[in-house]
Amino acid sequence: MIIADRDRWLDIMEIKYKGIPGLLYLLTFKTEYRNLFYYRIGKVGYILNVLCPKEKTLYIHTKTIGEGLFIQHGFATIISAHAIGRNCWINQQVTMGFCLKGKSPTILDNVKISAGAKVFGGITIGENSTVGANAVVVKNVPKNCVVVGVPAYIIKQDGLKVDKSIITPVSLDN
């Protein structure tokens, strides 16, 4: 997992260092990467955090996170999903988490959640989907979709422009 995370971050950021030098670069200069790295290594991360602090306003409270998660500008970001798939991308000021009944979202593979988006409740964001900036998602999102707005609605599905609401309603008390 750590190797996959490192390699994805280095590729996205177009950093020339690979292997151990690349890992050291990320740990030295990318606080968001430190948060993810410390999450992956468990309790040892608490000790390392004293020497090399993580981003203080980035919170990761998700039991299962697939490899390759990229957190761009993790300032003021709360990641409290039920599960996150592989190769997801999360921007700054994103909030994902619980609704009234304590259920949190499931984020499937290759999902991008843009700046300021909110994703709440026991919903699922389908593979290869994008949540637009400042969108508020409280319903399931099918795979291969782009959603925007408050509440979020689909503007693109399977590469084609559409204009419809998200199909599967989910109660806010989920």
Q: How confident is the model at residue 101 (pLDDT cuts 50, 70, 90)?
A: confident
Q: How confident is the model at residue 173 (pLDDT cuts 50, 70, 90)?
A: low
Q: Six-digit token pair at 95?
A: 């909030």
* Model pTM score: 0.90
Q: How confident is the model at residue 100 (pLDDT cuts 50, 70, 90)?
A: confident
**Average pLDDT, rounded, for the chain:** 93
Q: For helices 31-41 and 44-51, give the axis angle rounded to 10 degrees.
A: 150
CATH C-level class of 57-155 = mainly beta
Distance CA 60, CA 76 (A): 11
Distance CA 14, CA 169 (A): 40
46-63 pLDDT per residue, tens: 999 999 999 999 999 999
Q: Six-digit token pair at 90?
A: 């999360």
pLDDT of residue 165: 62
Domain boundaries, the chain: 1-55, 57-155
Report the percentage of the chain scoring pLDDT > 70: 93
Which helix (DSSP H) or strand (DSSP E) does residue 144 occupy? Answer: none
CA dist 163 → 32, 124, 130, 154, 166 (Å): 35, 20, 15, 6, 10
